[in-house]
Amino acid sequence: MIEWSKTTIKEFQTSLLGWYDENHRDLPWRHDQDPYHIWVSEIMLQQTQVNTVIPYYERFMRLFSSIEKLAQAPEEQLLKAWEGLGYYSRVRNMQRAAQQLLQDYDGEWPQTKTGLQELVGIGPYTAGAIASIAFNQPEPAVDGNAFRVFSQLLEIEADIAKPQTRGIFETVIRKIIPKDRPGDFNQAIMDLGASFMTAKNSDNAHSPVRQFNQAYLDGRLDEFPVRSKRLKPVDKHYFALVIKTPQGYLFQQRASNELLAKLWTFPLIDGDKLKEEYPDLNEDTLSKTIESKFAAETEIKTDLQLVDAPVVKHTFTHQKWHVTLMSTELQNQPDLSHFAGQIVNVEQFATLAWPTLQKKLWSAYQKRQIKLF
């Protein structure tokens, strides 16, 4: 890692902020310095592209225009507003933090990075972003963009996959961030990482800070940032049961301790556990086995058939799900007294909070062709 002199730091600040003043992105959460607006946008932007977030942010603000409205929102409405952004624990934590602000802080935001991190779901990056942008605190906001930009600028060889590396970057950036414009500085780094210094197809030759980019000058761009290989997501196998009744389809709400907690899906059978329970399971016995298992749990009898559609795949952070569709159509309305779910007709689909996985399942089912055995 190289170190800059005070003169170089000043020149970098001038170049970066001069470019930012002329070219910064016009984003709805940048129209003011309201910490609520900054917070919501930063949580939404985790794992999600800016262009995708904008309509979500605008709709969220129409529904929950204040901390009070967010704190008091029904969970179903909250999850529906978040539908499609994924990582639903984020919005649940936002509501808990909003309640915390009202109960413990009289609705007043902490103005330091340390204080902000006392709020549920706010980590070092989000705290740094809010503290710098809303409260003009000279705090780094170290996300993927900052890792990439500063690792290239200074040839920082620390592995960004290791938790302790964040502290190294924060120490380095804290020496460079200007005390008079820390929020603009952090946002300029975000914009730089989204334009000239992107993860793919970067354009460092035309970057406004190319003369400060040591990795570019040394022809070592492909070496930074240093990241050890991530663990491959574990494959998990499920069966989704599309059970149509005279009034609609059977849906279940995922348990609060499961992935996709509190979201609605077709009934799901864990294929891996099924295989453990029935080691000799094969295609000939599959349908009857799942029928028996489902009936034992719900007292609903079915005649399941495999759906002629591709296996639906969906990747979470640590798991990759492979979901096989099975379907049946019941002629009579089933007794739901032992079924932990409800019947939903197509017109009501829009009222349920669906995860992206369920959208994929429904799309695959609509394009199906049933295999008849």
Residues noted as catalytic: 42
**Best CA proximity match to 80, nearest among 337, 355, 311:** 355
Q: Determine how β-strand 248-253 pairs with β-strand 234-245.
A: antiparallel
3-class state of residue 36 by DSSP: helix
3-class state of residue 256 by DSSP: coil
- How is residue 75 written in tokens? 């969970």
Contact 70, 64 (CB under 8 A): yes
358: buried, middle or exposed (CB in 10 Å: 19+, 13-18, 0-12)? buried
- How is residue 367 written in tokens? 């394009």
CA atoms of 150 and 155, how far apart (whole Å): 8
Contact 193, 152 (CB under 8 A): no
Plot region of 339 (φ>0 → left; ψ -120 to 50 → alpha; else → beta): beta
Q: What are phi and psi for residue 252, nearest 5 degrees?
A: -125, 150
